Structure 1
Amino acid sequence: MNKILLYLTLLASVTLFGACNLNESPEFNDADAFVAFGGNSFSVEETAEVLKVPVRLTSLKNLTSTVTYELIDSTAIAGRDYELSGGATVLNFDGKEPVQYIEFNILPHEGVFTGDRIFGIALKSASNVSLGSNDTVYVKILDLDHPLSAILGDYAVYGPNYFSNRDDNWTVKLEKDDEGDVSKVWISNLVVAGTNQKVYGIVNEDMTKIEIPVKQTIATSSSYNSIVLEGFDNADINSADLLPDGSKLTMTLTQDSPIVFTMDLPFGSHIIDVDSWYSIVLAGATFTKK
């Protein structure tokens, strides 16, 4: 009797594990079919004329679906900044093409500074399939008439490195402020060692000076708590010579064609963590717009 019970127990165990293979991955089927945007966000320059936003239907059996959507005006307004091509807020998936496009005409405001403008698109319903998690996206229309556009962009930087006793070359990028402050630029890769945090500078009205406040975090590292932007008032590289809070590094326009900025301080841009020097660039480093 005990042998029979043991046999039945083993048989039940084999049957159970055969029916439920824990190593099998769940399979997608058309009960899970969904429609969603083909990206998380989109941007387009105001002079691009046309923007096509992809919507994808994910299905194994090429299901058909009628999908409705709505437009969400924000700082961009339909009829003023963009127009829906065709007018109907419906997409029809015929089972042949898994991707359909919502097409817009972009209305430019050339020569007028409007700032970047944003509108949204939201999927509302879909027959035969579900709405995916990515059912709402926002489109940013990029204004090309920013007051600081003349100085924005990539710069080739040339300057002596304190540690290497040689001149270094690298690239710095100046970008506009995403919050719309037209007196502020954000600077990437300010020093030759590289940075993973942008720092900001304030531009004067005639765009001849950029003042960069010290004490900004300019990089993060697993080796240090913080790497901050500092400045020195002489070439001794001593913590006693650090510029006090509220001080600024200054870049001055020294040539306007091509645009060239030069670091002004008696001792240039530097980054330190506590008493560890991360990178130091001597005064006189030149930033030439590419």
Structure 2
Amino acid sequence: MASVSSESLATARAALEGSRDSVSLKTATDLFGVLGVLDENPALQRALTDPARSTEERGALARRLFSGQVSDIVVDLAAQVAGSRFSSMGDFLDTFETLGVDATCLVAERGGETGIARLEDELFAFRNAVGDSHELQRALSMVSAPRESRERLAQGLTAHVSEPARVLITQAVLSPRGLKVVTLVERFSQFVAARHNLWIAHVETSQELTPEQGQRLAEALTRYFGRELKINATTLPSLIGGVRITVGDEVIDSSALAHINRLKQRLAS
């Protein structure tokens, strides 16, 4: 994504995150529903992204279109996305897909790290099952088949998975958006894996932590990030001292090596 699209996506994702306590699987299916409506209506896509309309006008149009059709959270998100700027129509549409996956993950995360890990494992298992079955691959490639047939196929494929996994697999089967179903599930898996990584703190220290130090660090990270994290600790003598912690994209580096490097940079400037 170009920077302007990335900024708009980040803003929309932050808004969804801010409503996480109210997010349900219906939120996810509503977001995918909005995407489906837009995918089928190029004229509507153009109207909601028309640069000749003001931000307020595009947002108001989205509200008129979707109010009463989807949940209030999704109406607000649709208005916000429509009022934002995107470098391409593809980025605009993909934003709703990403938000749908995010909403599904937020529900899975209520089960803690176990919940999001299960979702990741179930999507992985689906990819493996399809890859091992030529019959399934043929069935999933029949995008021209009646919707009722694809719905029955989706129900059969998701009979023994969690509700969050069912939402994502069903979305991929019913609306692959020009991709192979397994390719879209792979893309969903990448989103889920990235969020799962947010539950893991990769801790690097110059010396092995004692059990007491590990416990204190885990408690401090839980307070800082607002959720219980799984600690993945490794020893890296080159750090010299201190600790480097990575959670998702966030890095907390208080190692002696980092201090030395910053000092070198200041002396060189």
Smaller-chain TM-score range? Answer: under 0.3
Higher relative contact order (CA closer than 8 Å, sequence separation 6+):
2
TM-score, L = length of structure 2: 0.21
TM-score, L = length of structure 1: 0.20
Which structure's residues are more often strand, by fraction?
A: 1
| Structure with max Cα Rg | 1
